[in-house]
Amino acid sequence: MKIMHCPLNGPRNISEFAPGGEVTRMPEPSLTSDEAWADYIWMHNNHAGVVTEWWCHVPTSYWFIAERNTITDEIIRTYPASQLYTERMNFEQNAENK
Amino acid sequence: MPWGLLKYGFSKKYPARQDIPPNKELKNSYDVIIIGGGGHGAAIAYHLARYHGITNVAVLDKGYIGGGNTARNTAVIRSNYITPESVDFYKESVELYKQLSNELGYNMLYSQRGQLTLAHSDASMRTFRLRAEVNKQCGVRSEMVDREQIRELVPCLNLDKNARYPIIGGLWHKDGGTARHDSVAWGYAMRASQLGVEFHQRTEVTDIKQSNGRVTGVVTNRGTVNCKDVVQAVAGMSTIVAKMAGIQLPIRTFPLQAMVTQPLKPFVDPLVSSAALHCYISQTARGEIVIGGGSDPYELYSTRSSLDLKEGLIGHLLEMFPFLSEVKLLRQWTGMTDMTPDYSPIMGETPLQNYWIDGGWGTWGFKATPIAGKRMAETVARGRAPDQIRPFSLSRFRTYHLSNEAGATAASH
Ligand SMILES: Cc1cc2nc3c(=O)[nH]c(=O)nc-3n(C[C@H](O)[C@H](O)[C@H](O)COP(=O)(O)OP(=O)(O)OC[C@H]3O[C@@H](n4cnc5c(N)ncnc54)[C@H](O)[C@@H]3O)c2cc1C
């Protein structure tokens, strides 16, 4: 079994984790065209090499960040999301609701 | 063997048959370059040469012909999808498969013996009913069957009501079957090369040249080649090749694992599939049990296998056929699948005028090889995707017109 290091729970079998996709920045919905929003939802970098992704330790519902290599299947490092996101993300209220 | 026969082997009168001529030098330019020499690339080339008179075509493959997913799939061919556009499309592919041995003069070992998909929940029964009705409407043979009919179709199936996931019904698809995957790639490639198409193996495309919204040529490890049109048909590498042309795709690449047992006496005639158990099997003409198809849970560009996934797959197999527990595995392998968000392919136009895509075939594209060849060749020859494949255009994502086949595709092939 492959082992992943959870920043909260330590080394665990990879079957305890669920991938949450690449770390991307959500565009501000009220300022984004339908096309750009479609791209944000559907398009993927699908990069061959080192990627930065969201992962979740399912039994504890703990979300964190992992860097892994999609060619060699190596997990390079894992760390709490707070290292990337130092402040709360705020989005303008959707223009239509204003 | 009588020694007398040997002389024929050395005689010039009986030269060894060469299905596909070895690499020549690449020409400076071609009318059409097809990137990827899997079943799809070979079928597109064949249709261009045979039906559209376009023979100045080069198929470039970084490995060998049919060595990608075409060599790795479990050969399930069926048309019991859920959206009318898919049913219509795959139905025509089944029709083409039926006559493919004649079309190519090459034995496809096509065998239409029906596919049984099992339901273990009321939710599955509901989608099966919908699929059966949509299928019938489109002229595809699908019907609901109960436990008694299932017992008749596959007497050795575990129908125990105390099983972890008891079987409550099924979808019986008479048009389901299999074909020999290598024959498909080789048959198309052989006939295409006889019509003048060049196949260049170990020729990797590393960049795509363009100017003013048009492609002008491709860069390979054997030099740069100019062309009027380019088609990409590279399965798991779709994103990487499209990026060379500056095109972004809604595709993610996941490994898909399969395996095969030692040969056994024939005991199961139809193909048997359970989406809930993520497992399907078929018995080959040689008696081996082909077992598919476990998708890895996260993206990778790798054909490595993993014990966890194989163990999980075998566990599910044994719930259906417990008596297989002592059988030995003969081979196991993995391919890289190009998964789309709606489990439908991406075919036809791209933002570049003369660059065409045939990808997003994920875990289900072998069955579409003949129809993709036919429709993509039409697309290139006419400069426009025909109506049948318009629902599968890349532009559907921009307009949120997805063609959702998740229920009919995930792990039932
Ligand atoms: C385990 C497994 C089981 C499957 N089971 C089924 C099934 O039962 N039924 C079904 O319908 N489908 C199934 N599939 C899916 C099916 O195999 C594929 O969708 C189909 O074979 C794709 O064919 P292709 O010709 O497009 O791709 P491939 O056969 O993969 O050919 C693509 C070719 O492109 C070449 N290439 C890549 N990059 C480059 C480059 N830069 N330059 C030049 N060449 C390049 C590769 O070398 C390769 O030969 C399965 C897949 C797998 C992995």
| Amino acid making up residue B42 | A
Q: Is the CB of B256 under 6 A from ligand 1?
A: yes
Mean pLDDT (chain B) is 95
Show the tokens assigned to B129: 């009913």
Q: Rounded to whole angstroms, how far apart are CA atoms A15 and B267?
A: 34
pLDDT lower than 50: segments of chain B = none
Q: Rounded to whole angstroms, how far apart are CA atoms B321 and B250?
A: 37
Q: Of all atoms in ligand 1, which is nearest to the CA of residue B75?
A: 8
Show the tokens assigned to B397: 């994502």
pLDDT at A96: 55
A71·B301 Cβ contact <8 A? yes
Q: Is the CB of B62 under 6 A from ligand 1?
A: yes
Mutate which of B366, B369, B375 for ligand 1 pocket (most atoms within 8 A of beta carbon): B366
Q: Residues 273-302, chain B: which have Cβ within 8 Å of A?
A: 297-302
Helix ranges (H only) for B226-288 are: 238-244
- How are beta strands A50-57 and B198-200 bridged, if at all? unpaired
Tell me the nearest-neighbour CA distance from B100 into chain A, angstroms.
35
Every domain of chain A and the residues it spans: 3-30+42-85
pLDDT at A94 over 60: no
pLDDT at B71: 97
Kindly list the structural domains of chain B, giving each domain's residue range(s) and its CATH number in brackets, ordered by start.
Answer: 112-175+253-339 (3.30.9.10)
Of the candidates B300, B306, B398, the beta carbon closest to that of A35 is on B398
Q: Which residues of chain B neighbour A48 with C-beta distances below 8 Å?
A: 240, 253, 301
Mutate which of B46, B69, B284 for ligand 1 pocket (most atoms within 8 A of beta carbon): B69
Helix ranges (H only) for chain A are: 34-42
pLDDT band with cut points at 50, 70 and 90 for residue A87: confident
pLDDT single digits (tens) B40-51: 999 999 999 999
Ligand 1: distance of its center to the CA of B367 in Å? 11
Is the distance from CB of A52 to CB of A23 less than 8 angstroms?
yes
- Note the maximum CA span of chain A: 51
Q: Rounded to whole angstroms, how far apart are CA atoms B147 and B155?
A: 11
Chain B contact for A89, CB < 8 A? no
DSSP secondary structure code for residue A86 in this structure: -
Which residues neighbour B229 within 8 Å (Cβ) at sequence distance 6 or greater? B31, B32, B33, B215, B354, B355, B356, B380
Question: Which helix (H) or strand (E) element contains residue B280?
Answer: strand B279-283
Chain A contact for B328, CB < 8 A? no
Residue whose token pair is 């609701």: A97
Mutate which of B234, B279, B409 for ligand 1 pocket (most atoms within 8 A of beta carbon): B234
With vertex at residue B263, the alpha carbon angle to CA B262 and CA B264, rounded to the nearest 5 degrees, is 115
Of the candidates A2, A14, A70, the beta carbon closest to that of B301 is on A70
Q: Is the CB of B204 under 6 A from ligand 1?
A: yes
pLDDT single digits (tens) B258-296: 999 999 999 999 999 998 888 999 999 999 999 998 899
Q: Rounded to whole angstroms, how far apart are CA atoms B39 and B36?
A: 9
Cα dihedral B400→B403→B409→B413 (10° resolution): -130
pLDDT at B165: 93
Show the tokens assigned to B291: 């077992």
Q: Of all atoms in ligand 1, which is nearest to the CA of residue B255?
A: 53
Ligand 1: distance of its center to the CA of B391 in Å? 22
pLDDT band with cut points at 50, 70 and 90 for residue A98: very low
Homologous superfamily (CATH) for A3-30+42-85: Folate-binding superfamily (3.30.2270.10)
B399·A38 Cβ contact <8 A? yes
Mean pLDDT (chain A) is 92
Neighbours of B180 (CB within 10 A): 19
pLDDT at A49 over 60: yes
pLDDT at A1: 79
Of the candidates A19, A42, A46, the beta carbon closest to that of B341 is on A42
Name the CA radius of gyration of chain A, rounded: 16
Chain A contact for B257, CB < 8 A? no
Which residues neighbour B116 within 8 Å (Cβ) at sequence distance 6 or greater? B145, B150, B153, B154, B170, B171, B172, B173, B270, B271, B272, B273
pLDDT at A95 over 60: no
Tell me if residue B363 falls in helix, strand or coil.
Answer: coil
pLDDT at A90 over 80: no
Tell me the nearest-neighbour CA distance from B94 into chain A, angstroms.
30
Ligand 1: distance of its center to the CA of B376 in Å? 16
Tell me the nearest-neighbour CA distance from A92 into chain B, angstroms.
24
B196 conformational bin, left if phi > 0, alpha if psi -120 to 50, beta if neither: left
pLDDT at A93: 57
B387 conformational bin, left if phi > 0, alpha if psi -120 to 50, beta if neither: alpha
pLDDT at B95: 98
pLDDT at A88: 81
A73·B400 Cβ contact <8 A? no
